[in-house]
Amino acid sequence: MGIEYIYEPFSYGFMVRSLIVAVSVGVMLPILGSYVINRNLGFMGDAIAHASLPALVLGLLIGTSVVIAAFPAAILIALLIGYIINKSKIGEDTAVGIIFSSLFALGFILLSIFKQISLSVEDLLLGQILGVSTFDVLSTLILAAVVVITSVTLYKQFLFVSFDPIGAKVAGLSVKLFDNIFLVVLALAIVGSLQSVGIILVLSMLITPAAAAKLIMKTFPSSMIVGSVFGVVASIGGLYLSYYLDFPSGPSMALTATSIFIIVWIVRRAISYAN
């Protein structure tokens, strides 16, 4: 037993690629997740992931990269959901639920119609980070950069419209515009993470590290930063589990994130008892 267990995997090119993708996912999802947990948007994050399935299938069918096909779809879905939230008369949860379950179902129907598509459903649902290509690495890196830069430059605006939408409107900010930008960035981050975490478990990396950070941090920006640190730890932890134990990467990352949450919770309780 030795330190070589830590660095040995990275003598392989595919592991280096996976590491870069894991770190990107670990950083970008919790940044947006900090807003998601405070605005109760978890269901919407889940919906965006599921609703992108038909686009992924069509992308494979016409032979483009999965990620490229899903981007425009994700943006459309995000804007559609944003529109529904403003207009829905049947309740936004209901409307979002109908749309996302229908699109998810449509994705599976497409899969069974076009049997020639070589696609592992399990990888799609649970993530398979070890199979990322150089192109995936590049596109994920660009995405992570877009998410981080948008979150930093529009931090004040995002915070204002999230904390107090009426006040923001009164102060002359376009709440709709910034909400839509946020949803689009969220959709991009989610779709960009599907390959690592999978459709079903992307929610875990979106909310669990951010929630763990919120347990111990006193202010919003600090919990955003610490959430990203937890996210990176969870995604790298998941990567090791995938490599050594041959687990799918989504569940590995999800359970590492949950372990971090539990540890943080216990430590926090212990400290408050001690005081």
Does 39 interact with another protein (rule: CB under 8 A)? yes
CA angle 157, 160, 165 (to 5 degrees): 115
Euclidean distance between CA atoms 140 and 135, whole angstroms? 8
DSSP letter string, 65-132:
-HHHHHHHHHHHHHHHHHHHHHH-SS-HHHHHHHHHHHHHHHHHHHHHH-TT----HHHHHH--GGG-
Q: Is 160 in the site for another protein (CB under 8 A)?
A: yes
Q: How far is the CB of 213 from another protein (least distance, A)?
A: 11
Binder among 117, 173, 229, 233 for another protein (CB under 8 A): 173
User: Could you say whether residue 153 binds another protein (CB under 8 A)?
Assistant: yes
CB of 160 to another protein, least distance (A): 4
Which of 58, 79, 146, 157 binds another protein (CB under 8 A)? It is: 157
In the list 1, 3, 152, 274, the residue contacting another protein (rule: CB under 8 A) is 152
Pick 162 or 256: Cβ nearer another protein: 162
Q: Which is nearer to another protein, 32 or 201 (CB)?
A: 32
Half-sphere exposure at residue 242, Cβ-oriented, CA atoms within 13 angstroms: 28
User: Interface with another protein includes 252 (CB under 8 A)?
Assistant: no
Contact between 166 and another protein (CB under 8 A)?
yes
Residue spans of alpha helices (H) in 154-247: 155-163, 165-170, 175-216, 220-245
Chain residues binding another protein by CB under 8 A are 37-39, 152-157, 159-160, 162-164, 166-173, 214, 217-221, 223
